[in-house]
Amino acid sequence: MSGIVGVIANDFARSSLFTSCVWRLDIPDGWRKEMLIGGDWCEARNSLCRLVLDSEDAEYLWFMDDDHAFPPSMLKKLLAHDEAIVTPICLTRTHPFTPVQFIKKGEMMKLSEMDHDGLVEIEAGGCAGMLIRRDVIEAIEPPWFEYADTSEDILFCEKAKEKGFKLYADLGCRLGHITTAVVHPGIKDGKWKTGLTIGRDLNLVVDTADEVIEQGAQDSGYWKWTLRRVLTGESVVIVMAPPWEQVAWDPDEQGEAPPEGVLQRWCDEADGTPEHEVGDPFSYYQVEVQ
């Protein structure tokens, strides 16, 4: 079995995070990566489709768009389904972060009604992370992707369904959509606070760093917090004690039970958040202050 990983990067590529995903990707034997940089999105996807047809041994095409974050194992998980078209689930990058998959025409997927894993048939979806078998590309008359009243992604899905192919989404494969986040100091109700703007229109307010640290120290002598990172499956624990003292804790060498007041990092591959070291400016974490 062989195929092509089509990496599409525009002139404003989110280089650090996306590049780490490309290099960490676990691709099957016989596969190769082809990168297209800049230009038109439709033409880039069409060029990759032509490349598949020109390559006698290419059985699949998988799109890696540079505004997404891909777990290393995602490609192999999608391949295991042996379907003509299968995609991970993904959200838009702006609030309220709706899924880009549609169960029916005009009806987006409602995650609250979905199982946590398994395949679900869909009407259409975004092409980032979509795995397409060669016979789908052969069946559709070029251009495979083009601009119209609807997006090029949805139009491609409509063309595939017209040719008799079914589309599936893997609820256990979760693709990250890279967005912007701005952290800024601000005043609310006469007090200093930390403001966060995520995407274009989600604004959050949290306590200042000194308030969080002071409260944690009063509770237990430590600033206790839980940080969830994904992809590797490793478990690392760090003790945070004012002022910013860190002690590494390796469960494999020092036992599974961490001391009181530690930072426990659970790494869950299914969540789809890219892996980065603590302190990396491109880190993407879910933090729970305890």
Q: Which domains does the chain have, with CATH numbers?
A: 4-177 (3.90.550.40), 221-289 (no CATH)
Residue 216: the pLDDT is 58
Residue 73: the pLDDT is 93
Residue 45: the pLDDT is 95
Q: Measured between alpha carbons, how far is 8 from 78 in angstroms, rounded to an integer?
A: 19
Residue 41: the pLDDT is 87
Question: Residues 84-138: pLDDT tens digits?
Answer: 999 999 999 888 899 999 999 889 999 999 999 999 999 999 999 999 999 999 9
Angle at 39 between CA 35 and CA 44, to 5 degrees: 50
Question: Residues 21-37: pLDDT tens digits?
Answer: 888 899 999 999 998 87
Residue 16: the pLDDT is 64
Within 13 A of 148's CA, how many CA atoms are on the CB side?
12
Is the pTM here over 0.75, yes or no? no
Residue 38: the pLDDT is 74
SS (H, E, C) the chain: CCCEEEEEECCCCCHHHHHHHHHHCCCCCCCEEEEEECCCHHHHHHHHHHHHHHCCCCCEEEEEECCEECCCCHHHHHHCCCCCEEEEEEECCCCCCCECEEEECCEECCHHHCCCCCEEEECEECCCCCEEEHHHHHHCCCCCCCCCCCCHHHHHHHHHHHCCCCEEEEEEEEEEECCCEEEEEEEECCEEEEEEEECCCEEEEECCHHHHHHHHHHHHCCCCEEEEECCCCCCEEEEEECCCEEEEECHHHHCCCCCCCEEEEEECHHHCCCCCCCCCCCCCCEEEEC
Q: Give the chain's residues under pLDDT 50.
A: 11, 13, 221-249, 254, 256-290
Q: Residue with structure tokens 């540079």? A: 66
Contact between 41 and 98 (Cβ < 8 Å): no
